[in-house]
Chain A
Amino acid sequence: DAKTTQPPSMDCAEGRAANLPCNHSTISGNEYVYWYRQIHSQGPQYIIHGLKNNETNEMASLIITEDRKSSTLILPHATLRDTAVYYCIVRVAGTYKYIFGTGTRLKVLA
């Protein structure tokens, strides 16, 4: 199963863009990349997902490299409420089975 690697923590100034990287060098051609976040001890919340094209929604943008070995989640204007643990996840090909990594703890600073 493909694994993901993320930096354990990052800081970002309020109002600035937060760029969260994820390495998934063993991803296979038909495995999707998902991003979730977890605020405090709540259940994780879906942010965005993609296969090979860049994606954007009301919460964030997802940039996937052409070789698909890494991706970046972009929060364009981070707020204090974006302070959370962000998980980059690969879904096992052909299944609905998801493998979470250890995540990046993002702290947005006032």
Chain B
Amino acid sequence: NAGVTQTPKFRILKIGQSMTLQCAQDMNHNYMYWYRQDPGMGLKLIYYSVGAGITDKGEVPNGYNVSRSTTEDFPLRLELAAPSQTSVYFCASQGQGPFHSSYNEQFFGPGTRLTVL
């Protein structure tokens, strides 16, 4: 299993440009997440999904959009990039199961480092 994969690893955008960060998992997990991590800070939840066709906002959703058309993929769309979106973006997935079980482990991808100039 490849686990959680993210592309690209690095990207530089100009202000106002748009892009899609790709995330895929091959573990048949229902739950997927997007986080951002600013330098020296913890992770902030942007959006999450509990299954194909179902998404919900996290703590910092403004400026982002997501879709979940398949179980495997959960792309994050940035429209009109701004310098405040310079960050490292992590995608994660989690299996479904009882709350008190090993299904509760989130598996993280390697991250995408985005710079907006």
A positions within 8 Å CB-CB of B: 32, 34, 36, 41-46, 49, 51, 87, 96-103
Contact = CB atoms under 8 A, between A and B. Distances in A.
**Contact residues on B (Cβ < 8 Å of other chain), bracket:** 20 to 34
* A interface secondary structure, majority: loop
B110 A100 contact: no
Interface of B: 4, 31, 33, 35, 41-45, 48, 50, 56, 58-59, 88, 90, 92, 94, 99-100, 104-111
Contacts, number: 53
Contacts of B42: 87, 100-103
B43 A87 contact: yes
Contacts of A43: 4, 90, 92, 108-111
Nearest to B105: A46
Nearest to A43: B108
B111 A41 contact: yes
28 contacts: A32-B99, A32-B100, A41-B111, A42-B110, A43-B4, A43-B90, A43-B92, A43-B110, A43-B111, A44-B90, A44-B92, A44-B108, A45-B108, A46-B105, A46-B106, A51-B99, A87-B43, A96-B48, A96-B94, A97-B56, A98-B33, A98-B106, A99-B59, A100-B35, A100-B42, A100-B44, A102-B42, A103-B42
